[in-house]
Structure formats: C-alpha cells, structure tokens
Amino acid sequence: MLTRVLLVILAAASLDAQVTFDRILRADKEPQNWLTYSGSTAGQRYSALTQINAENAKNLTMQWAFQARSTEKFEATPLVEEKGNVPLRYLCTGALVTIFLQLILGATLRHSATWDQRPPVELILAHIGGAVAVTLMLGAASLSVLRRHPETKFLTRPAIIALTLLAVQLCLGIAAYMTRLASPNDPQPLNPMIAITVAHVACGALVFVSTIVLTLRTYRVLPASEEKSFLQDYRIRQDLHVNPE
C-alpha cells in the first residue's frame, strides 16, 4: 500500500516534467520562467519582469552562488522553470508543521493509556489521519525538490533521506500498533513492543530533523520565489538591461 501511494505521488509530480517546444516559442507569455538559452528563440537575453528596475537595482545583493570545479573559463546560461504554483520553501514549511503536529499527536496517543489498555479510538483515527497528511505533505515537498532541482544535491540529499525515513516510519507505526494490541495479555511492557515503539519514536524524530534540514536549505538556496531569485541573479551577472520604470 505504501509503495502504491508513493508511486501515485511520483507519477503526479512528473506529469509536466518536460518543457514543450510550443512553450519555448511562446516564452514571452510566461516571463517568470527562463525556458531556453537566451530566454527565448529571439536570443535577446531580456526579461520582461519589472520587480528590478533602474531605481532599485543598486540595492540587490547576492543570494545564490555556484562554485565550479574548474579553474578555466566557465560560462553558462541557467534554465529556470517553476512548474509548481507553490514555492518549495512553503511546501517544506507546511510539511514541517504537519510533522510537528503529528509528533505531538503521537506522544498524546502513547500516553493516553497503559500497555494493558486499548488506546482511545478517536486518537488512533486522528493519528492515522496525521500519518496520511504527513505522507502527502512531505511526499509533495520532497518529490517537488527532486523534480525541480534534480542536479542540486544540496537539496536532493535531504529530500531523499526524508522520503526514506518516512517509508520506514510508516512501517514502524503499523508494527507498533499491532504489538500494542497484543500487549494487554503481558504482565508488563515487553519486547518487541518496547523496541518497536522506541524505534518508531526515534525514526519520527529523524524524519522531523531531516525535514528541518530540507526546509532550511530551501530558504538558503531559494530565498524568494525560485524563478525570481535565479533570474535576478542571472540578469545582474550578465549585465542585462533593466526596465526604466
């Protein structure tokens, strides 16, 4: 079931992964993107964005840099396409908040009853709903990172780690619940319930930490909306013309 959910999310995230030639021909219709070399087939290297103008260009500061592994002359034109409507930093922040709330809910569930009692049904259902929400939020954020910035290991590594830990966490959650159901027959908390519960708690903390790292890195690399920050940096470095108004 978990594999099917992740495959559905991955398929949905990759539907619009390719830039069509028709979009490149009409690049002027979406100036927030930089879909091809020189910006469009006209080769003018000009952006119609108006956020930077002659008045505020002097206030710009560097927000992103790439250290090339070469001492030779290095020139490149960045291609920028923001496929999603929601910036990555907002997706990651939403996933982080969802995980935090789920951790609180999980702690409440664990302490709602002793090992020889069944946990409240309403808390169990709420925790299951939280697990679904975390899977959707973190899955969307991590897969969006992998889809939009596949070559940026600074972002893809924590995204992959977070997804892997999430899969392990879901499996541990099911195992923890099953062992908890069998515990009323035990004279006291015993293994494997103790070991699985501890592993479940520890893995949840690791998911939270990896999502914190991912979120902080998106804020560091993508300080504003991704397409604007990259295009602004590109326009200044390439001495592009700014709009006079």
DSSP string, 171-234: HHHHHHHHHHHHGGGSSS--TTHHHHHHHHHHHHHHHHHHHHHHHHHHHHH-SS-HHHHHHHHH
Q: Provide the pLDDT for residue 18.
A: 56
pTM: 0.59
Q: Provide the pLDDT for residue 74.
A: 62
In the predicted structure, residue 19 carries a pLDDT above the cut 70: no
Q: Provide the pLDDT for residue 141.
A: 94
Q: Provide the pLDDT for residue 79.
A: 54
Q: Provide the pLDDT for residue 23.
A: 75
- Contacts from 47-51 at CB under 8 Å and sequence distance 24+? 47/231, 47/235, 47/240, 48/243, 49/228, 49/231, 50/243, 50/245, 51/228, 51/232
Over residues 38-47, the mean pLDDT reads 74
Q: Provide the pLDDT for residue 239.
A: 40
Q: Provide the pLDDT for residue 242.
A: 43
In the predicted structure, residue 231 carries a pLDDT above the cut 50: no
Q: Provide the pLDDT for residue 189.
A: 61
Highest mean pLDDT among 49-53, 130-134, 218-222: 130-134
In the predicted structure, residue 121 carries a pLDDT above the cut 60: yes
Domain boundary assignment for the chain? 2-81+226-237, 88-221
Q: CB–CB of 80/146 below 8 Å? A: no
Over residues 78-97, the mean pLDDT reads 76
Over residues 85-98, the mean pLDDT reads 88
Q: Provide the pLDDT for residue 12.
A: 46
Residues of 112-145 as b/e, b for ≥16 C-beta within 10 angstroms? eeebeeebeeebeebbeebbebbbebbbbbbbbb
- Nearest to residue 82, comparing CAs of 228, 215, 243? 228
Q: Provide the pLDDT for residue 151.
A: 78
- Categorize the per-residue pLDDT at 240 as very low, low, confident or very high, splitting at 50, 70 and 90: very low
User: Residue 89: exposed, middle, or buried by beta-carbon count in 10 A (0-12, 13-18, 19+)?
Assistant: buried
Average pLDDT score, the chain: 76
DSSP 8-state secondary structure symbol assigned to residue 72: S
Q: CB–CB of 218/63 below 8 Å? A: no
DSSP 8-state secondary structure symbol assigned to residue 120: P
Over residues 166-183, the mean pLDDT reads 86
- Categorize the per-residue pLDDT at 238 as very low, low, confident or very high, splitting at 50, 70 and 90: very low
Q: Provide the pLDDT for residue 214.
A: 94
Taking only the tens place, the pLDDT of each residue in 147-167 is 888 878 888 999 999 999 999
In the predicted structure, residue 124 carries a pLDDT above the cut 50: yes
Question: At how many degrees (to 10) do helices 121-148 and 2-13 cross?
Answer: 40
Please give the Cα distance from 41 to 211 (Å, whole number): 39
20 contacts: CB under 8 Å, gap ≥ 6:
none
Q: Provide the pLDDT for residue 14.
A: 46
